Copies of this chain bind each other. A is one copy, B any other.
Amino acid sequence: MSKILTNRKDDYAQWYNDIVLKAGLADYSAVKGCMVIKPHGYALWENMRDQLDKRFKETGHQNAYFPLFIPKSFLSKEAAHVEGFAKECAVVTHYRLKNDPNGGGVIVDPDAKLEEELIVRPTSETIIWNTYKDWIQSYRDLPLLINQWANVVRWEMRTRLFLRTTEFLWQEGHTAHATKEEAIEETKKMLEVYATFAEEYMAMPVVRGVKTANERFAGAEDTYCIEALMQDGKALQAGTSHFLGQNFAKAFEVMFQDKNNNREYVWATSWGVSTRLVGALVMAHSDDDGLVLPPKLAPLQVVIVPIFNKDPNTQEKINNLANDLIATLKQNNIRVKFDNDDNTRPGFKFAEYELKGVPVRITLGARDIENNIAEVARRDTKEKESIALDNLAGHVIKLLADIQTNMYQRALQFRTDNTTKIDNWDAFVKALDEKPGFISAHWDGTSETEEKIKELTKATIRCIPLNNEQEEGQCVLTGKPSKERVLFARAY
């Protein structure tokens, strides 16, 4: 069988595109920068969404839905916010088409021009805080804990499937609080929700940290983030949680009456993760043969492939075995499929399920079952074992848990191996090219130095880790005094 994917070591970017397209995660679309999320990719996103949604609800949040469109004037109300988003806004200016009277086909009707242009939401702080103005009067209306699952549009010049697309799917939480302390607590709580989801479900270790002023969300007082390391040594921001202070409350005049009858501005947070996580999942774990998916998120966790001989008795025996096994696995909430399509050769099926990242493959071979065994292959290590038939279901259930743990440990080991403390500039520059990964280095705390480093190396400060060890040192570029190391990397 010919090689389906480019190898990672030959061209990592091409490998990524190959795998996304060929494993059926996404496709390019006719609209520049927008992708089609194909069924396998969407099923992954659904599994992520359902798990996150459960956690949001467990932490007291409710879902709602706000308009796709934002009046242009709303965006302008928070100065940093419009500065951050103005350059990438899709703008609706008209609301009707008509037939060209000069025979030019269907054209935009010039008589149907909007009085005020509408922006396709790049994020919803402005339309939501304009609504919260009506919903919040008293401390009894607080906290207001709302989440929205939606599509958003940011007009990107350079796009990559899942990682950076003009339209993407995401969730955005928007909460309102009576006190600063409570809002900060919420910001950190939701960061932890993201971090535990990434680690426990995506099997992807993340650094919890806070962004520098340069890298903050447009309109935030503080941006917390989780940062993951991809297999090529580049970092990927996997989720952010923003403490917005009273910026949006002031911009939209959202005040509440406190218990002492004082009118105060409300404190805000917002937090989001997106379909970018699908890209992160691919880059964190997959290999040259295809996707490697953590069992907890894999749309299909176990596939059973029969290898029949000509004997109808054996065929019946295999079918019965498969059906019993499926019944047992389904009772244990395992997503399993019996692929007995006899128009496709087993070898082709093996390659296909490897490409799609199914964690466990069970082969029920005519010869094996005579000996009361089946072959069980795990996708993460590609190891195969012969397992006694009467122990098969139990083995598979345990194996799925093992794979989940192993994938996390392997990614953690990779991150440990590729996180380096560096204390001088030459080593810093050299490491970025020769051993990419997280660099833990001292920084003098100024935006100027941060920008200079980015300009010289394309590395950015990914975050200042939470609960960071305090340590005297000198900035890796300027030699000025520093009190803690920060994490640098080139990033997606």
Decide if A42 is an interface residue (CB 8 Å cutoff): yes
A 27-85 contacts with B by CB, 8 A: 27, 29-31, 34-39, 42-43, 46, 62-72, 74-76, 82
Decide if A398 is an interface residue (CB 8 Å cutoff): no
Which of A86-94, A200-208, A435-443 has 4 or more CB atoms under 8 Å from chain B?
A86-94
A37 proximity list for chain B (CB < 8 A):
64-65
Q: Are B97 and A75 in contact (CB under 8 A)?
A: yes
- A 108-138 binary contact with B (CB < 8 Å = 1; else 0): 1000000001111000000100110010000
* Alpha-carbon distance A43/B56, docked complex (angstroms): 14
Q: Are A39 and B146 in contact (CB under 8 A)?
A: yes
Partner of A131, one of B29, B39, B88, B97: B29
Most buried by B among A43, A46, A68: A68
* A25 smallest CB distance to B (angstroms): 11
Partner of A63, one of B35, B46, B108: B46
- Contact A30 to B65, CB < 8 A, known contacts A95-B89, A97-B91, A105-B76: no
Decide if A384 is an interface residue (CB 8 Å cutoff): no
Q: Are B91 and A94 in contact (CB under 8 A)?
A: yes
Q: Are A67 and B34 in contact (CB under 8 A)?
A: yes
Q: Are B93 and A93 in contact (CB under 8 A)?
A: yes
Most buried by B among A89, A119, A151: A89
- A 127-159 binary contact with B (CB < 8 Å = 1; else 0): 100110010000000000010001101010000
* Alpha-carbon distance A131/B38, docked complex (angstroms): 11
Q: Are A42 and B30 in contact (CB under 8 A)?
A: no
Name the residue on B nearest A275 (C-beta): B65
* Alpha-carbon distance A118/B75, docked complex (angstroms): 21
A456 proximity list for chain B (CB < 8 A):
none
